[in-house]
Amino acid sequence: MNAKTILHVNHLLHEGAVTGRHSGRLIREGVVQALDTNDNVVVDFAGVDMLTQSAADEFIGRIVRQYATLVARISFTNCSREVADMLQWAAEQANSVFQTDAKGMIPA
């Protein structure tokens, strides 16, 4: 089985700007829910021209911190340079804040 889901951010939020933790939470919950039943999720940012730090952290930052094993199953498409940079920033920040060991997450 190699099923994948495409999550269209602009359809989920009905807007072209992803701002605030609430919006980031909605995307994160959609991705995590889709990964429960599919091998992979493609997050489509077509029509999205802005992603704030708080939204990016709530979405991908929390996935990196709480569901690190899922990260490899998530991909992105149709990202503007600004959106791609913000996603990368949030993921890097999440990785720098926490490291894992055999007992779980520890401060870096």
Residue 75 pLDDT: 97
Domains of the chain: total: 1
Which domain, by its residues, includes 40? 4-107
Return the closest-CA partner of residue 76 out of 31, 24, 36: 31
For 22-43, the pLDDT digits (tens) are 999 999 999 999 999 989 999 9
Residue 3 pLDDT: 84
For 39-87, the pLDDT digits (tens) are 999 999 999 999 999 999 999 999 999 998 999 999 999 999 999 999 9
Return the closest-CA partner of residue 65 out of 28, 22, 20: 28
Looking at per-residue pLDDT, the higher value among 30 and 96 belongs to 30
Model confidence band, residue 14 (pLDDT cutoffs 50, 70, 90): confident
Give the domain CATH number at 9: 3.30.750
Residue 97 CA to residue 108 CA, distance in Å, equals 6
Return the closest-CA partner of residue 76 out of 11, 26, 7, 19: 7
Residue 99 pLDDT: 54
